[in-house]
Chain A
Amino acid sequence: MAVREFAERGADLELVGIQKRFPGFTAIENLDLTIPAGSFFALLGPSGCGKTTTLRLVAGLEEPTQGRILIGGKDVTSTRSHERPVNTVFQSYALFPHMSIIENVAFGLKRRRIGDPLGKAHEALRLVELDHLAQRRPQQLSGGQQQRVALARAIVNRPALLLLDEPLGALDLKLRRQMQLELKTIQEEVGLTFLHVTHDQEEAMTMADTVAVMNKGAIEQMGAPAELYDLPKTAFVANFLGQSNLFSGEVAGSTDTAIAVDAGGARLVVPKARAHRHNGAVTVGVRPEKVSLHVEAPVPSSERNVLGPGRVLDVSFSGVSTQYLVDVPGHGTILVFAQNTGSGPSVGVGAEVWASWLVEHGFGLDDGAVEVERFAADDSTTSIAAQRRDDLVAELGEG
């Protein structure tokens, strides 16, 4: 058996033409993916997008219908789970309830007959600061502690590839932050390859070197977090990874460096370098924090795109920033995040405003004209309140 020794370093993971069909549906369609050794890779996607299935395929808990899996250049497609140099931190932790914490952590070492399993297990527990609980049973630990034990149980084996299946899902926010930091530190210290599966975009962005956004069994876009955030390729990525204001329209003109899009009567300019398509029906967008609000019509300039006038539908204050929902006739609702630095205008609900952003902050998607996913006005408290009132009035009117 191959995995009698610790991995010297992380290994490359390569998925080639993977397809996984379950009776009745296809979880993964033709997936190709290469994860370089030593990287922290996040697979990000909504539930049911196939990310957990991908992880289970790599762990050997599922068999691909088609395709090959290579770890460190070796084909492991037909290798069974216990023979792969891979460990998983399960979403449910799956700590053995009939063993003490230390027995749980030493389990993998004992199976591989590695010398001094208990000493190494204690060391791993010290790393996650739980050595004092070594003799307890998993049921006696809190969720966060169990999670750390699950992590220690996987890391102690020094796998070439560590798989993390939403391991932070059950933790509260503070513990989550702390664990994210710890995970990142451990990854840098031990130099393993991490494959992290999550639906939490913030978690993926703060922790991973490379993020792959997955949707409906396929990867929509892959890259460094900042790159993905700055230049989303599809409407799905634009809205799953943070939020975006998207506008669909025809390309009305172009220069060497930029295209102009006629979106509902407004002329929106996007640099060519930041647009995936340069003609026909396109969708362009801008991140909400890049948009600024004006109480007077801004002076038209070639450097800014301007929309307006519109009306503020909702204002929600969250300390460092304020979120405005602005209804601009012909363009739907626009989301604006304004940092509370005291420099911008402070407006209330119902105020007439203009929205503008620098041309270089816009981006053009690879999708054609899409059914733009709007920040539904129904989400705003005012409109819900208005809707409730209308419903009540209607009900009273009937009675």
Chain B
Amino acid sequence: MAFAAFATAEAQPQAPRKSSRIALFLLLPGILYLVLFFLTPLVSLLLTSLQAPLEYGDIGQYQYAFNWQNYVDVMTAYWPHILRSFGYALAATVFALLFSYPLAYFIGVKARRWPLLQSLMLVLVIAPFFISFLLRTLAWKQILSDESFVITSLKALSLLGPDAHFTGTPFAVIFGLTYNFIPFMTLPLYTALERLDLRYLEAGSDLYANPFTVFRKITVPLSMPGIVAGTLLTFIPAAGDYVNASRDFLGGPDTQMMGNVIEANFLVLLNYPAAAALSIILMAAILVLVGVYVKRSGTEDLL
């Protein structure tokens, strides 16, 4: 687990072999759960993605086949959405990290002397969860709509052009994604920074490192497990998100992400194989990207 990375660096004593049967027994509910609710749907999804339309059938009727052409079709039809998804998710992850790191640093390091302030700030970070994610995103739509006070004021001040919109633009979608995933970024960062031993920072300063170098060479590497966990918790769901980019929320026709086309194919076009193929592509792409990222950040042993 990422958060306990440094603590468990020493070799664990070998568990006695006798308890392996008990361990297996204790693992059974978990294994059953995963088989039932993860493995089965995954296999079903994979099979669906290869289905072909039923001959002489209605729209939405498919039969099992090995129609890998589905993948080629969705790739050619939806490659801009695929790229857009990862682009938006990446931007949102970067913004969330830039926003959350100072916040987590303040809560986890600077506020250590005032435990009450620390708890209060943590509650404030988590507080948005008490209101539905959909409602909060709708609220932002209201706040940022063309007739809203914010936008009309900006227009009155000539900071925005008279025909400018905010909702429906890529900025609005990235803004929504960033906003919604900030707690997922802040909490792992806080966990890592809260355990940061300030004596290392003092040692760095004693060894002629200026505050910026101490941050770059000591604070950041020591909080790497939190950075990796936070960026994964933000990037993965953001890449698959279909709420923020939806036309009903902050998005527009030009901001559709993979989640939106999967939803449209599944619920509107009733093209189940296309939806399934897109889902598989999304999953595989995330898996590859995350794998490369974790390998590059040198934290594979920390996960």
Query: CB within 8 Å of B: which residues of A?
Result: 3, 59-61, 80-83, 86-88, 90, 92, 94-98, 107-108, 111-112, 137, 139, 153, 157
Q: Does B209 count as interface, using CB distance less than 8 angstroms?
A: yes
**Cross-interface CB contact of A94 among B202, B213, B214, cutoff 8 Å:** B202
Q: What are the 7 tightest A-B residue pairs by CB atom distance, in nearest-first order?
A: A108-B207, A94-B203, A111-B208, A81-B205, A98-B221, A94-B199, A88-B206
Within the assembled complex, what's the spacing in Å between the Cα atoms of A88 and B200?
Answer: 12
Give the residue name and chain of the A residue nearest to B11 (CB): A140
Given contacts A94-B199, A98-B222, contact A87 B6 (CB under 8 A): no
Which partner residue on chain A sits nearest B210 by CB separation?
A82
**Which residues in B have their C-beta under 8 angstroms from that of A90?**
199, 202-203, 206
Distance, CA A97 to CA B197, complexed state (A): 11
| Contact residues in A for B205 (Cβ distance below 8 Å) | 60-61, 80-82
CB distance from B197 to the nearest CB of A (A): 8
Q: When chains A and B are docked, how far (Å) is the Cα of A157 from the Cα of B9?
A: 29
Q: Is the CB of A96 within 8 A of B200?
A: yes
Question: Counting CB contacts under 8 A, is B204 at the interface?
Answer: yes
**Cα distance A285–B179 in the bound complex, in angstroms:** 74
| B207 CB contacts on chain A under 8 angstroms | 82, 87, 107-108, 111, 153, 157
Q: Which residues of the other chain, A, contact B210 by a CB distance below 8 angstroms?
A: 82
User: Are A96's CB and B203's CB within 8 A?
Assistant: yes
Determine whether the beta carbon of B203 is less than 8 Å from that of A59.
no
Distance of A157 Cα from B209 Cα, bound (Å): 13
Q: How far is the CA of A92 from the CA of B200 in the complex (A)?
A: 10
**For the complex, is B125 an interface residue (Cβ under 8 Å from A)?**
no
Question: Is the pair B222, A112 in contact by a Cβ cutoff of 8 Å?
Answer: no
* Complex CA–CA separation, A92 to B198 (angstroms): 12
User: B209 — which chain A residues lie within 8 A by C-beta?
Assistant: 82, 107, 111
> How far apart are the CA atoms of A137 and B9 in the complex, in Å?
10
In-complex Cβ contact of B9 among A83, A94, A139 (8 A): A139
**A81 neighbours in B (Cβ, 8 Å):** 202, 205-206
User: Given the complex of chains A and B, what is the CA–CA distance between A108 and B214 in angstroms?
Assistant: 11
Main secondary structure of the interface of B (DSSP, over half): helix
Contact of B218 with A by CB under 8 A: yes
Shortest distance in angstroms between B280's beta carbon and chain A's nearest beta carbon? 37
Which residues in B have their C-beta under 8 angstroms from that of A157?
A: 207-208
Partner of A139, one of B10, B199, B218, B222: B10
Residues 7-31 of B contacting A (Cβ, < 8 Å) = 9-10
- 5 A/B residue pairs, CB under 8 Å, sorted by A: A61-B205, A81-B206, A94-B197, A97-B9, A139-B9
In the complex, A88→B218 CA distance in Å?
A: 17
Complex alpha-carbon distance, A61 and B198, angstroms:
11
A3, B222: Cβ atoms under 8 Å? Answer: no
In the complex, what distance in Å separates the CA atom of A81 from the CA atom of B203? Answer: 10
Query: Which one of A59, A107, A157 has the highest number of Cβ atoms from chain B below 10 Å of its Cβ?
Result: A107
Q: B206 near A61 (CB under 8 angstroms)? A: yes
Cα distance, A82 to B215, chains bound together (Å) = 13
How many chain B residues touch A (CB < 8 A): the figure is 23
Which chain B residue lies CB-closest to A87?
B206
A137 to B10, CA, bound (A): 11
User: What residues on A are CB-neighbors of B202 within 8 Å?
Assistant: 61, 81, 90, 94
Residue of B nearest to A94 (CB): B203
Q: Give the distance in Å from the alpha carbon of A98 to the alpha carbon of B204 in the complex.
A: 13
Question: A81-B202, A82-B214, A111-B208 known; 19 other A-B pairs, CB under 8 Å?
Answer: A61-B206, A82-B207, A82-B211, A87-B206, A90-B199, A90-B203, A90-B206, A94-B197, A94-B199, A95-B203, A96-B204, A97-B6, A97-B9, A97-B200, A98-B222, A98-B224, A111-B207, A111-B209, A157-B208
Q: Once the chains bind, are B221 and A82 in contact (CB under 8 Å)?
A: no
Docked Cα-Cα span, A137 to B209, in Å, equals 21
- What CA separation (Å) do A95 and B214 show in the bound complex? 14
Chain B residues within 8 Å of A98, by CB: 218, 221-222, 224
Identify which of A61, A88, A111, A112 gathers the most chain B CB atoms within 10 Å of its CB: A111
A74 to B18 CA separation, bound complex (whole angstroms):
68
Tell me the residues in window 73-114 of chain B with beta carbons closer than 8 Å to chain A beta carbons: none
**A61: B residues at CB distance < 8 A:** 202, 205-206
CA distance A78 to B168 in the complex (A): 54
- Give the chain B neighbours of A86 by CB distance below 8 A: 206
Chain B nearest CB: distance from A51 CB in Å?
A: 17
Q: In the complex, which residue of chain B has the Cβ closest to the Cβ of A56?
A: B202
In Å, the complex CA distance between A83 and B217 comes to 17
Complex Cα–Cα for A94 and B222 (A):
13
Which residue from B10, B199, B214, B217 sits with its C-beta under 8 Å from A92? B199
Is there an interface contact between A97 and B222, defined as CB atoms closer than 8 Å?
yes
Residues of B within 8 A of A83 (CB): 208
Residues of A within 8 A of B222 (CB): 97-98
What's the minimum C-beta distance from B107 to chain A, rounded to whole angstroms? 22
Residues of B within 8 A of A139 (CB): 9-10
Known: A139-B9, A139-B10. A3 touches B199 (CB 8 A): no
Residue of B nearest to A80 (CB): B205
B-side contacts of A3, CB under 8 Å:
208
**Contact flag A94-B208 (CB < 8 Å), given A111-B213, A139-B9, A139-B10:** no
Cα–Cα distance between A87 and B126 once the two chains are bound (Å): 42
A81→B205 CA distance, assembly (Å): 6
Q: Please pick, from A82, A92, A97, the residue contacting B208 in the complex, using a CB distance under 8 A.
A: A82
Interchain CB contact under 8 A, A108 and B221: no
Q: How far is the CA of A96 from the CA of B222 in the complex (A)?
A: 9
Bound-state Cα–Cα, A90 to B207, Å = 12
A22 vs chain B, min Cβ distance (A): 12
A237 to chain B, nearest CB (A): 31
Cβ-closest chain A residue relative to B201? A94
Chain A residues near B213 (CB-CB < 8 A): 111
